[in-house]
């Protein structure tokens, strides 16, 4: 077969150029004629005399056409499917209700935290002395109002708490220093109290100190 192909290729090469051009033209014309016949051919199906009808027999409205009827066949539920569906729907409703409430609380907490941070950032500036004084005054007035029905001691206590709270909020670094100082003094006083001498030793030292010289 290889020798035949080589021989055929040799014969094709031996053909004159005019003959090769003529064969190429005939092939091209055959392809074009085949394409034209396929394009212009009638592809419609052949008419069926049994289904032929006149114009008067055609339906006027779509309702005249036969309708397809469907029947609904319910699928039988699996064992315990309804019970699990009831539990799942109840859990989903409760989860949605709790999630909606927590979303409202979360939004309120975020807004409150943001507002508190902005106020804290504003009052911590060095040049905001008057706003700090106003905030401390408002805190004291709020404590005084809360302690109106609790007597003189209650008014004094609540007013002091309001002033101290707003002062520590306006001056956080100073409040921390004051608290550390108070804790240190308290610890030192407690150590001194534990290391105090017995009453007998104090009396002996006092008598010896007040004794006249011999």
Structure confidence at residue 73 as a pLDDT band (50, 70, 90): confident
Cα–chain center distance at 134: 39
Residue 92: the pLDDT is 87
Task: State how far the alpha carbon of 32 is from the alpha carbons of 42, 97, 107, in Å.
Answer: 18, 74, 76
- pLDDT beyond 50 at 6: no
Mean pLDDT score, 145-150: 84
Structure confidence at residue 4 as a pLDDT band (50, 70, 90): very low
169 in Cβ contact with 128 (< 8 Å): no
Task: Tell me the Cα Rg of the chain.
Answer: 53
Write down the mean pLDDT value for the chain. 76
DSSP 8-class letter at 211: S
Mean pLDDT score, 69-75: 80
Residue of 201 and 10 predicted with greater confidence: 201
Q: Give the Cα-Cα-Cα angle 31, 34, 36 (nearest 5 degrees).
A: 110
């Amino acid at each position: 077969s290889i020798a035949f192909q080589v021989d055929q290729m040799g014969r094709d090469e031996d053909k004159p150029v005019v003959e090769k051009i003529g064969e190429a033209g005939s092939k091209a014309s055959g392809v074009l004629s085949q394409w034209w016949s396929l394009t212009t051919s009638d592809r419609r199906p052949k008419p069926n005399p049994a289904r032929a009808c006149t114009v008067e027999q055609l339906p006027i409205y779509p309702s005249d056409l036969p309708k397809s009827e469907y029947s609904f066949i319910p699928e039988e539920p699996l064992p315990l499917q309804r019970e699990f569906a009831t539990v799942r729907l109840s859990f989903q409703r409760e989860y949605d209700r709790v999630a909606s409430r927590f979303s409202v609380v979360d939004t309120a907490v975020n807004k409150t935290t943001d507002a508190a941070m902005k106020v804290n950032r504003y009052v911590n500036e060095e040049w905001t002395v008057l706003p700090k004084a106003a905030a401390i005054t408002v805190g004291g007035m709020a404590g005084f109002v809360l302690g109106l029905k609790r007597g003189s001691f209650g008014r004094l206590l609540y007013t002091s708490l309001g002033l101290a709270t707003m002062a520590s909020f306006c001056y956080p670094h100073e409040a921390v220093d004051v608290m550390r100082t108070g804790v240190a003094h308290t610890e030192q006083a407690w150590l001194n109290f534990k290391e105090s001498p017995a009453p007998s030793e104090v009396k002996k030292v006092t008598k010896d100190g007040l004794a006249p010289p011999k």
